[in-house]
Amino acid sequence: MAMQEKRIALVTGGGTGIGRGIALALARRGMDVALVGRRAAPLEAVAQEVSALGARGVALPTDVTVASERAALIERVHAALGLLDLLVNNAGMMAGGDLVTLSAEEIEQAVALNLTAPMDLTRLALPDLAASRGAVVLVASAVSHVPLPSGSLYTATKTGLRAFGETLRYELEPLGVHLLIAYPPAVKTAMTAGMAAAAGVPIFPMLAPEKAGERIVSALFAHKRELQFGFSEQTTAHLYKIAPWLVKLGLRSQRRRFSRMMKAVRLNRREPTNG
């Protein structure tokens, strides 16, 4: 089935940031969207925006880190909209900071949201996606190509998500299920608020989440297998492949700056940003 024929999508973290951008981009292409996240209010707001674009939007408040809630989610989508054609695993949290400063709860929370939830949701959605020859989107991160100082937990979860997707392709291809892995650059969201000031540089460019969402959906409809964007991120990733020692030397010199940036993320984060 061509992407243009697909009708029903589930977007985790759909109430804010990139998830909202993805949901609106899908709605502009005529897809109905089930919006998933912990907080009902932002999900309802985006559902109204989806409806204003001529598609159906439904808010399904869910904590995707809870196995029982994940297990019930697909049936809730069936009841509200029908069988799934597209699963977008977008929900995530910027779990930054030096490892010694993190609690066991923070580590477990980050792994549950950034890695366990998308793995299990993909498993649960596969019967639908195989029947419709649908698609899965994994929103990873540029840090899975270039690990950054003070980001061991976040990098581990996002690199794990990348490895999961690349390995899963062997299972999805015989089923006719397409997989896109997206590696967005720094995006201006509540999760990253404060990073620019903490960086201490005159210009700290961040991409608008609506533009990030549109880029990801455009790549999906173009049937791309991966999407890397952000000029500096792509340049750094390429240099890391050919001269990793040089990139690591530069990153070591900036360890204090990255520590300040990740600390700012933690101070700004009141709860996981899964919508």
CB 25 within 8 A of CB 216: yes
Taking the model in full, what pTM does it have? 0.85
Residue whose pair of structure tokens reads 């999961």 in the numeric block? 164
The pLDDT value recorded for residue 90 is 97
Q: What is the mean pLDDT of the chain?
A: 86
How far apart, in whole angstroms, are the C-alpha atoms of residue 275 and residue 19?
Answer: 8
Give 239's pLDDT tier (boundaries 50, 70, 90).
low
Give 202's pLDDT tier (boundaries 50, 70, 90).
very low
Residue 2, pLDDT above cutoff 60: no
Residue 191, pLDDT above cutoff 70: no
- pLDDT digit string (tens) for 126-171? 999 999 999 999 999 887 777 777 778 989 999 999 999 999 999 9
Complete DSSP assignment for 162-186? HHHHHHHHHHHGGGT-EEEEEE---
Residue 183 falls in the annotated catalytic set: no
The pLDDT value recorded for residue 186 is 78
Q: Which of 154, 170, 183, 240 is catalytic?
A: 154
Average pLDDT over residues 55-59: 98
Task: Give the CA distances from residue 275 to residues 2, 99, 272, in Å, rounded to whole numbers and listed in that order.
Answer: 29, 26, 8
The pLDDT value recorded for residue 201 is 56
Residue 197, pLDDT above cutoff 80: no
